[in-house]
Structure 1
Amino acid sequence: MKQYNRKLAAALVAFALAIGLLAGCSGKGDGDADKLSAADVGERIGQAVSLDGMKQGDAKKLQKLYHIDAGDVEDFVLYTATSNVKADELAVIKIKDENQAESVKAKILQRIDAQTVKFKDYRPEEYFLIEKHVLKTKGPFILFAVSQVADRMERAFDEAFSL
């Protein structure tokens, strides 16, 4: 019976240590995301993929494409295709309040719907990119990516929080 208790105690200690190590190695939490800006996250994405074929957007473009007023968000980075026949887009939006996340995502979904209608029959290869878009949140940040390299953009977005 003593041997059983020792094994059980050793297993519990090993389990507690494993949990402690996993918690300690988890990187930055969402609380640290508040220290990042959308420009910081956008720069990380720009280091991972080339944004040369895109042009940077401003507050007017954010309003036009997504119906989001720049004053309603803390910070944003926006890149769009240089041509109307391309669907490429990248938006990193830092919201002021995480309660805004669903509202902002709903506006981005409206953009996705509009682009789907625009490209579905006209440019099937661009429509495919829209269908494979990335739309996700991490803390106060929202990522929207439409690109052949959207998966790499997503990975760079995720890695920006684990530095």
Structure 2
Amino acid sequence: MKKHTFMLALTIVLSVVLGACSSNNSNNGAAIETNLTAKEMVDQMLSKVEQPSLMELDAATVEQLYHLNPELLEDYSIRMPMMNVKTNEIAVLKVKDVKDMTTVEDAIKARATDVQKQFETYLPDQYENAKNYKLIKKGNYFLFVIADPADQDKLVADFDTYFTEK
């Protein structure tokens, strides 16, 4: 009897866990498509929401700051402030292989932690922005944004408009 109850409980727990994992994707299994490159997305978002002067990161800098091999990415555009007095950062990353999604997500979270540590005792308002970053997953794309909360919401809403479900 105990063995039967244990197996039933285990089955229920596994069903809940697997169900939660499978519904974690915002598109519920539909293919997500866009006609824009990562750079075009970032350029369009920044044309609508004013940000401080941002510079585009090259592959070596991406590897250094994000602890991420750019070879895992099919396309990306990452912008960060030219001067170290703002935390504003925006990144659109398209992952080549779905098996690398967790690796890329972990790298982005590590970057967010690095920015938080950098501003923890430096500028309180920028530290708050860094703590409240947005990380959005859409298909095999990630959007990472550190900005004023109102600007973040606008950037996320704009990002969502670049995709269609097929």
Q: TM-score range by the shorter chain?
A: 0.7 to 0.9
Report how far residue 32 of structure 1 moved.
Answer: 4.1
Using the aligned pairs only, state the percent identity: 27
1:35-54 matches, cutoff 5 A: 35-51=35-51, 53-54=53-54
User: Which 4+ stretches in 1 moved above 4 angstroms?
Assistant: none
Distance in 2, matches of 1:77 and 1:62, equals 10
* Structure with the largest fraction of helix: 1
1:29-40 matches, cutoff 5 A: 31-33=31-33, 35-40=35-40
- Residue segments in structure 1 that go unaligned for 5+ positions in a row: 1-28
TM-score, normalization: structure 2? 0.73
Distance in 1, matches of 2:32 and 2:136, equals 18
Distance in 2, matches of 1:158 and 1:96, equals 20
CA contact (8 A) 1:86 1:126 kept: yes
CA contact (8 A) 1:30 1:138 kept: no
Partner SS, residue 121 of structure 2 = coil
Report how far residue 39 of structure 1 moved.
Answer: 2.2
Alignment RMSD:
2.1
| Corresponding residue for residue 110 of structure 2 | 110
TM-score, normalization: structure 1? 0.74
Going from structure 1 to structure 2, the CA distance change for 1:51 and 1:57 (only over 3 Å counts) comes to: farther
Report how far residue 82 of structure 1 moved.
Answer: 1.2
| Corresponding residue for residue 77 of structure 1 | 77
Partner SS, residue 127 of structure 1 = helix
Paired letter, 2:101: A
CA contact (8 A) 2:52 2:88 kept: no
- Residue segments in structure 2 that go unaligned for 5+ positions in a row: 1-28
